[in-house]
Amino acid sequence: MMTRYLIIFLFVLNLFAIDDFDDKQVYFLQTIQVDSCDSYGWCKLKGKQQYIKKQYYKLHKNGFVSLKTGINTRTWTYVEHSYLDDKPGLEECVYESATDNEKTNIQLGYIKIQLIKRCQRQSTKQKENNNTNRQDTNSTQSDQDDKKEQDDKDDIENNIFIDGAIGVGIVGIENRADKDNLQDDALDTNGLNLKVGIGYRWSDEIYNQLEIDRLDLGLADIDNIYISLNYRFFETKLKPYLGIMLGASVLKWQSSPMKNYTGKQIDSSKQTLYGVKFGLSKNITKQTEVYMVYRFLDINHRTTIEEETIKHKHINSLLIGVRYDF
């Protein structure tokens, strides 16, 4: 079968050399040739025992293959499973740290180089720690705890992100009051919706967030605080994600919704909040992504004034935001 060459332009890939890869290591700030791709989408680099998954690229009419998702998208390269045949300790570490998708690739016979590098760094770090312990018999348990605490802190910081968003919210209102007794904008159903949040990624797919948002309805504000559990489909150009939310909601009237009301100040309504969301995100730099999200929040606020009742039952909102990874 005639060998087919594809030219791949890889603009930015954050890969570092691995000491014992020899000819398997590729530096990506250059033009790279690919011998061929098999039916599973694995493409072998010319002159290398290294592979690239074809699904990360698209083929242009001129025969060039390029990144699908832009110059800052994470792209991985692989080696054949036989690379680990004489490295049992490394093989065990790679399998234990792999995600479900990565384990599927391992079963197909291909191992992500990033997994190997991570395990090699852990092994090197462990050897350095052992040498330090042998050379310095005066090392205290306190020093070791401080080092572990700093390592843990670094790992945590690498997985933390913040975000902010702006959009519109629409409230479902059930009115049991006489409209003739209400202010003109007492039953406003839509307003400006602002949100900020901080989150922690447990993996490429799963993350938690603490989020705070406000919906301005003119006469009233609805403030929400909640935690969310989210699942993101990682290996796509536009990354869809789903989430569920649980928290608290407060409805506060800035002025009375009733005309000619002279009674005491209206108490704020506090309720448990439940919600779901669906969004799409896209990386624009290595650490920054933009997203759009639809949310449904069940709030069930009830306001009663002089036997007149207004219910704010739920919120539908559409937001556009920016997320930044530390």
pLDDT tens digits, one per residue of 5-44 = 443 333 333 333 334 443 333 333 334 566 777 776 677 7
pLDDT score, position 245: 97
SS3 287: coil
Burial 217-234 (b: 16+ CB within 10 A, else e): bebbbbebebebebebee
pLDDT in tens, 195-238: 999 999 898 889 999 999 999 998 899 999 999 999 988 767 78
Q: Between residues 297 and 264, which one has the greater pLDDT? A: 297
Higher pLDDT, 28 or 249: 249
Model pLDDT for residues 308-326, shown as the tens digit of each residue:
889 999 999 999 999 998 8
Residue 89: which pLDDT band, with cuts at 50, 70 and 90?
Answer: confident
Q: What is the mean pLDDT of residues 275-281?
A: 95
Residue 139 confidence (pLDDT):
52
State the pLDDT at residue 34: 67
Residue % of the chain over a pLDDT of 90: 31
Answer positive or negative: Cα dihedral of 99, 101, 107, 111. negative
- Model pTM above 0.85: no
* Alpha carbons 214 and 169: distance in angstroms, whole number: 9
pLDDT band with cut points at 50, 70 and 90 for residue 103? confident
pLDDT per residue over 46-61, tens digit each?
A: 777 777 765 544 444 5
Q: Quick one: 202 exposed, middle or buried, by C-beta within 10 A (0-12, 13-18, 19+)? A: exposed
Residue 86's pLDDT band, with cuts at 50, 70 and 90, is: confident
Report pLDDT for 165: 97
pLDDT number for residue 147 = 57
- CATH T-level assignment (fold) for domain 157-325: Porin (2.40.160)
3-state secondary structure of 284: coil
Q: Which range, 70-84, 91-105, 213-227, 256-270, is most confident?
A: 213-227
Q: Is the pLDDT of residue 101 over 90?
A: no
Tokens of 258: 């009733």
pLDDT score of 25: 37
- Model pLDDT for residues 166-197, shown as the tens digit of each residue: 999 999 998 888 888 888 888 889 999 999 99
Report the chain's mean pLDDT, rounded to a whole number.
76
Q: Chain centroid to CA 221: how far?
A: 29
Each domain of the chain, given as residue ranges in start order, spans 6-124, 157-325
Q: Among candidates 211, 208, 181, 213, which has minimal Cα distance to 194?
A: 213
**Contacts (Cβ under 8 Å, ≥6 apart) of 266:** 253, 256, 303, 305
